[in-house]
Every structure is written in structure tokens, then in C-alpha cells.
Amino acid sequence: MASVSPVPAATGAGGQAANPQQFLTDTDYESMPIHWNDCEDYEIIRKVGRGKYSEVFEGWKVSCEDKVIVKCLKPVRQRKIKREIKILQNLRGGPNVIQLLDTVRDPGSKTPSLVFEHVANTDFKILYPTLTDMDIRYYIHELLVALAFAHANGVMHRDVKPHNVMIDHSQRKLRLIDWGLAEFYCPGTEYNVRVASRYFKGPELLVDYREYDYSLDMWSLGAMFAGMIFRKEPFFHGHDNYDQLVKIAKVLGTDELYAYLDKYDVQLDRHYDGILGRHTRKSWHSFVNRDNQHLVSPEALDFLDQCLRYDHKTRITPQDALQHAYFAPVKASVPRRDGNTQQGEGFANVSQG
């Protein structure tokens, strides 16, 4: 059934990360052939989502009656489609990464679609308010496992947000989905800053710093985590990209922002002259109240503080985060994935440029 030949994860023996230079360049995956299967073996049940680049449906495979998720791609450059497929191939079999099952195309409309494993997701707006302290620790841990694997395989997700984290709470199963904005990382490369969703954009994107790296994903995870433990979704609620940085500065401080800009020799857009103001850094404790105090601990605030930092080079990595004290109860209760290593362990650290 599979239309894309299995590609082993780009790691060597013992989970050692491959050299990012070994990954396909844009030109390489532009020339990569895609084998499109016929879509007649799939039937659509209902629409479950839509985005800028696709519409998503729940469906089933007729021959075996397995439920699947079908992502119908809107007209977009072939390069983008091939990049997403190549990344999904490279990450195939990775923990908590959504699995690509098939690539199909409608013979009439020629609309391409990606077929994925099915996850019985609960909308985060319904699920998150019900989560316990232990639930949040567990699911953030599982998300870190996915990011540790992706980063060790040279891939930045670049769109981490609640909408892209599917959770089947009854099975305690998490999958990181939508790798359409993901990109292979190569040190020293300048990347497009028009990635990630506004509420989860790192400061580097908002100040047009293009030489960012994997640490962008850790800011996005941190913003998501803050929303979960403080019961404030989204945590940074900007009305546009300019206001988004203002909202961040009101928490992390303007002096700290200017120190970050100076360090990386970044000129702030003149538009901020009239809207940024001066703000003193807030304590994370100031966001604790009667409704969320049961979700907040010293370990949670320390972990959050290591994620939400202006300076991307000082943010905690997924690999190090998995060893953080906040996740100790999870590591004590979650069975190992194999006989030798705890979840997330065994992935090599990848330099963040």
C-alpha cells in the first residue's frame, strides 16, 4: 500500500545524529520522485479541520476498514509538498511523530493527499481545562520526546502549537502532526521568518532574525506549556505580529529585549517606537492564582523559564528538558520503550548553531 519507500531514520548506531549536511538540499528533494497511488481505496467520513495549505478529513481504508486521516493539499509549490513528504519519510517510526501511511492523488482533479494514521483527538479547548498536573507533565514529556527525535534527525518543526498536538486521552497517546512548515536545519543558514502561528512565534521571528535554529520549537512549546499550567490560552495573545512582541515584552521585560537585540546586532522595526514602551520583567509567580495553583510547582516554573527566553541559544534543548526535575514523576511511571533507555534518551544532542 505504501507509496513512499520506507526510509530509515537518519541516525546511526546507538541513535547518533546524522550530520545535517547529509540531508537532502532543496534541489535534491525538488527532484525527488513521488509515487502517487489511486485514492479509490479510501473513503471520506467527515471533515475534521482546515488550514492555510490543506483540508483534513477523517476517512477509512476500504480494503481493511482501518480509520485514517486524509490531508488534501491545496495548490502549492511541488517543492513544499516534496519537503513535507521527505521529512515524514525521514522521521518514520519516530516516537510520537504522526505516521505517513500513503500518498494518493485523485485521477480527475489531480488533488494530492497525504494519508496518516488515525488519532482519536479531543479538541484542546475542551481537553486542556480538564488536565491534571500529572497529565500536563506527561503530555509535555511526550511532546519533548517527539521534538528530541526530530531535532536529532536534523528537522525543525516550526509550527508547534496545541492545534498540531493530537491527544487521544483515553489511550494517553500523543502525536505531533502537520510537518508542512518543517525544515531541515543547516548551521549558518538564514530561514524564512514567516513560520509558526502568531501566539507561538519566538521573538527571533518577530524581530526578523533569520539565522534561527531548533530552539524555535522550544519557545513554541514553552508558550503552549504556559497556557496549560496558568490556564490562560493563549498565554501571549497579540492582535498582530507587532503586538505579539509587545505582549512578550510585557512579561520578559524591555531591557532584556534590547540586550537580546544588541547581542545579535538586530535593528528593531521603527513601528515599535510608538507601541513598545518600557516594561519590567514579571515574575512567573505573578500568573499563579486560585484556579491554576494546583498545576504550578517550582519545577514547572523553572522549566518554563528555561523555555521562554529571548536568547534562543540559552533555551533548554528537548534532550536536556527530558532530564529536568519537572518530569521525574513521569519518568518514574512511564514504561521504557525498549530494554535499555527511558523515553527520549539515546537521541544525540544536536548543536543549535
Residues annotated as catalytic (active site), given as ranges: 159
* Residue 47 main-chain phi, psi, to 5 deg: -80, 135
Q: Which one-letter amino acid corresponds to residue 4?
A: V
Q: What is the DSSP string of 301-326?
A: HHHHHHHS-SSGGGSPPHHHHTTSGG
DSSP secondary structure, 38-101, as one string: EGGGEEEEEEEEE-SSEEEEEEEETTTTEEEEEEEEPS--HHHHHHHHHHHHHTTT-TTBPPEE
- Per DSSP, the three-state class of 331 is helix
How far CA 109 is from CA of 74, 75, 229, 287, in Å, comes to 11, 11, 45, 51
Instruction: Select from 14, 36, 32, 15 the least CA-distant residue to 23.
Output: 32
For residues 83 and 126, what is the distance between their CA atoms, to the nearest angstrom?
33
Q: Is 71 annotated as a binding residue?
A: yes
DSSP class of residue 128?
G
List binding-site positions for ATP. Answer: 71
